[in-house]
Amino acid sequence: MSEQLQTVPFSLRDYRIVALSVLGGALEVYDFIIFVFLSVTIADVFFPPSVPEWLRLVQSLVIFSVGYLARPLGGIVIAHFADKFGRKHMFNFTVLFMAMPCLLIGVLPGYATIGIWAPLLLLLARIVQGAALGGEVPNAWVFVAEHSPKPHRGYALGLLQAGLTLGYMLAALTATLLSRNVSDAELQQWAWRIPFIIGGIFGFISVWLRQWLSETPVFIELQQQQQLLQKLPLSAVFRQHKYAALPAALLTAMLVSAVVMTVVVTPIALQKFYGMDAATTFEISCIAILFLNVGCVIAGKLADLFGRWQTVALYSVLLAVGTSVLTLVLDAPPKTLLLGYAIAGLCSGIISAVPAIVVQLFPPAVKVTGISLVYNLTYSVCSSIMPLALLALLHAHRWGMAVFAWGMMLLGLATAYLFRHVRRYSD
């Protein structure tokens, strides 16, 4: 493999394709996740003041979660057209349909102005966002993989995943800047709108930039050889490739667990259980996500050098080790906590090791549909259950999340062992 890596370089064109893919993907993740950082303020703006504060927050988080529930249906519809008519066309479509509702949320009047229409329109915007994000990630994996030289596909997907997680960091940075520079009153009156408006504007810019992307060579070859499916790609997945669903689902669960533990649950736990203020939490989270990005790139490179399944096994172990280190320093001074959190981020490379395998589990003619079906269903279920379960475990015992991580390590090792010889499709 090392000789092949030397003879087939990762060119400037390859970097440009990944960069343009990352730009839209990171903004989509930002548009989607900024909601949760501002959920308390959104609850006050969009729900009647007569409702208890805790219930308004619950209602706000329910609307946030609806976006995840919309992912499978939106992802399957978008994937159908990606497999039938081209990856590039749907790549632009998903960014557009993330940008529009984000901008809408930024200018949407609150409950005090339009009453019950405020939460209903907010709900509609979140459904559209969820559907768009459900189509973006699987299509991005396939688009980048099909454009990249085979010896460097793990590295390319590592760069892509690092870029997608950059969206979380952008959201955390934005929330930090707001909390540092505006008062609580200003935040509720107008400042909360700024992140959504900015996200919408940059989303439209990324739509314009993506016009310079070209269709993947793999899809063009399918067209030229008339190998595109005449029937529904989804039916072909169920009839001929359903056995690829189990390893894809288990690997996706590993990916989700890393994201939830590192990006979602730890910042909440630091505030709720360890008394850290929101601004400091966001700052530390940003640095941890930066190290997570580095870990994604390293894991992608290792997947090319030593094999995809071997890398999944390695990072299953590192995920448990990194989470244990983080747990050890949760109540430590900020500098020590930052070091432990950075190590946990660096050990979360499973996030990019997973797509390096999943993109090979389905043939080109149904690749986006197969990935989208399994990825979005698994992601929706896991992201609905894992955060609450982990917070309950942490509330019961400080090592609860670490125990969960060791359980996920066993799942990752078992998956790598049992499915290491599963059929893989080479484009």
d(CA 255, CA 261): 10
- What pLDDT does residue 57 have? 63
Supply the CATH classification number for the domain 12-418. Answer: 1.20.1250.20
**Residues 5-22: tens digit of each pLDDT:** 456 788 888 888 888 888
End-to-end Cα separation, the chain, in angstroms: 17
Q: In the prediction, which pLDDT does 384 show?
A: 79
Model pLDDT, residue 336: 94
- Ramachandran angles phi, psi of 50, nearest 5°: -70, -20
pLDDT in tens, 280-317: 887 888 888 899 999 999 999 999 999 999 999 999 99
Confidence at 2, pLDDT banded by 50, 70, 90: very low
Q: Are 210 and 92 in contact (CB under 8 A)?
A: yes
Residue identified by tokens 């190290």 is: 291
> Which residues are CB-contacts of 102 (< 8 A; sequence separation ≥ 6)?
31, 125, 129, 196, 199, 200, 203
The percent of residues above 70 in pLDDT, for the chain, comes to 95
Residues 50-74: what's their mean pLDDT? 74
260 class by beta-carbon count within 10 Å (0-12 exposed, 13-18 middle, 19+ buried): buried
Q: Are 197 and 103 in contact (CB under 8 A)?
A: yes
CB 421 within 8 A of CB 247: no
| Residue 320: partners with Cβ closer than 8 Å, 6 or more residues away | 402, 405, 406, 408, 409
Least confident among 106-115, 175-184, 298-307: 175-184
pLDDT exceeds cutoff 60 at 264? yes
Task: Provide the strand spans (E) within 24-164.
Answer: none
Q: Is 330 helix (H, G, I), strand (E, B) or coil?
A: coil
Q: Which residue has the higher pLDDT, 242 or 65?
A: 242
In angstroms, how far is CA 203 from the centroid of its own chain? 16
Q: Among all chains, which residue has been given the structure tokens 């280190």? A: 325
- Residue 400 confidence (pLDDT): 94
Phi first, then psi, for residue 381 (nearest 5°) are -65, -50
Give the number of other CB atoms < 10 A from CB of residue 227: 11
111, 122, 252, 344 from 324: Cα distances, Å: 44, 38, 21, 8
DSSP reduced 3-state for 420: coil
Bigger pLDDT: 2 vs 382: 382
Sorted by where each begins, the domain ranges of the chain are 12-418
Left if phi > 0, otherwise alpha if psi is -120 to 50, otherwise beta: which for 83? alpha
What pLDDT shows up at residue 387?
A: 85
H or E stretch covering 248: helix 245-259
Q: How far apart are CA 135 and CA 133, in angstroms?
A: 5
